Amino acid sequence: MSTTDLERPLRADAARNRELILQTARKCFAERGLSVTLNDIAHEAGVGVGTVYRRFADKDSLIEALLATKFEAMNEAAARAADEVDPREALRVYLMGVFEFRARDRALADAIVRAGKARPSIVQERDRLETQVSAIIERAETAGVVRAGFDYRDLPMLTSMVGAVADSTRAHDPNAWRRYAEVLIEGVLPGGTDAPMLGTPLDRESIERALHAQN
C-alpha cells in the first residue's frame, strides 16, 4: 500500500472533523454568543481539544471561517429580495430576512463587526452585501415607498433592537420578535399595508421574565 493510500483516510477524517467543529461552533455561537470557548466547542462536538486546535489556531480563526458562511447566506438573501418586482416588497423581504438571521444567531452582530479586520475575501463579501442592499433601498427611494433618509447604515441598530427582543423572549415565545420586527419595518416603509400586527402581545409574566433577562 502506498503512502498516498495510507494518508487518504486521515485527510477524510480531518475534513469531517473540521466540518463537525464548524457546525458545532455555529450552533454554540448562535445560541450563546461569542463568549463560548474552544474547549466548550470541543466538548459539544465530542472531540478532543487538540483536534480543534489542529484545525483552528485560535477562536478568531474559527470565527473568521464562520464569517464567510454568514456573509454568503446574507448575500443570497439580498439577491432573493432583489428579485422581487415590487420595490417595497423587495426591501420588506430583505429586512425581515436579516432580522430572522439575527433572531436565530446571537453572535451575528459581533461577527459582522469583526469583518472589517478579516481576510480580504470576507471584506469583499461584506462590501458586496452593502452594495446589494443599498441598491434595494435605492429602488424603494425611487419608487417613493421608503421613509426619506433611510440608509443601509441604519440596519445594524434596527437588527440589534430585534435581537434584544429575540434573546430575551426566546424561552417563552421564540417568534415574539416577529411582531416587533414588523412594527420597525412598517416604520421604515410607512403606509403600505392595513394588515394587523403579527402574533399577540406577551403576557405579563413573560414580559417580566424577558425584562429580567436583560438585567
CA 195 to CA 183: how far, in whole Å? 11
3-state helix, strand, coil split of the chain in percent (to 5) is 75, 0, 25
Q: What's the pLDDT tens digit per position in 156-200? A: 889 989 999 999 998 889 999 999 999 999 999 987 666 676 778
Q: Which helix (H) or strand (E) is 136 found in, with range?
A: helix 120-143
DSSP string, 144-166: T-S-TT--GGGHHHHHHHHHHHH
Q: What's the pLDDT tens digit per position in 1-12? A: 444 333 344 467
Name residue, grid cell 430575551. Answer: 168
CA 89 to CA 120: how far, in whole Å? 32
Name residue, grid cell 411582531. Answer: 179
pTM: 0.78
Grid cell locating 134: 443599498
